[in-house]
């Protein structure tokens, strides 16, 4: 996330410098040329966005077995679940809750 912020700030700075330092030259350009430059900048920004889009990650660790409700095994299951979340870069709390609750089975 920090890298995206740095790149966005860099691109913003470049664009501001471009328009500020070359404002006279920009005004003298024909409309078609301005459109070409604007389109190329927009295309570049779209390519950068594609690089930083949320991509599905490959699971690095197999998901632990369902919890069957045995109170003696809660701690071990919780540790396996935590390790699974960390190894698969699952950091959103609601996603963790949804996955964990989906794997709890009430035992006898």
Reduce the DSSP state of residue 104 to 3 states and report it.
Answer: strand
Is the pLDDT at 55 greater than 70, yes or no? no
Task: Categorize the per-residue pLDDT at 106 as very low, low, confident or very high, splitting at 50, 70 and 90.
Answer: low
Q: Tens digits of per-residue pLDDT, 1-51?
A: 567 778 888 888 888 777 676 676 767 778 888 888 888 888 888 888 887
Q: By the 8 A CB rule, do 90 and 63 touch?
A: no
Q: By the 8 A CB rule, do 88 and 59 touch?
A: yes
How many C-beta atoms lie closer than 10 Å to residue 67's C-beta? 19
Domain ranges of the chain: 2-52, 58-108
Q: Tens digits of per-residue pLDDT, 63-104?
A: 777 777 677 777 888 888 888 888 887 878 888 888 777 777
Predicted pLDDT at 5: 79
């Amino acid at each position: 996330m920090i890298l995206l912020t740095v790149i966005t700030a860099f691109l913003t700075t470049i664009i501001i410098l471009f328009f500020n330092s070359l404002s006279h030259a920009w005004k003298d350009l024909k409309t078609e040329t301005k459109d070409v430059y604007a389109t190329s900048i927009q295309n570049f920004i779209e390519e950068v966005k594609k690089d930083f889009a949320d991509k599905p990650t490959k699971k690095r660790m197999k998901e632990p077995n369902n919890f069957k409700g045995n109170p003696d095994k809660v701690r071990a299951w919780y540790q396996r679940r935590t390790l699974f979340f960390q190894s698969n870069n699952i950091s959103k709390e609601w996603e963790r809750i949804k996955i964990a609750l989906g794997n709890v089975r009430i035992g006898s």
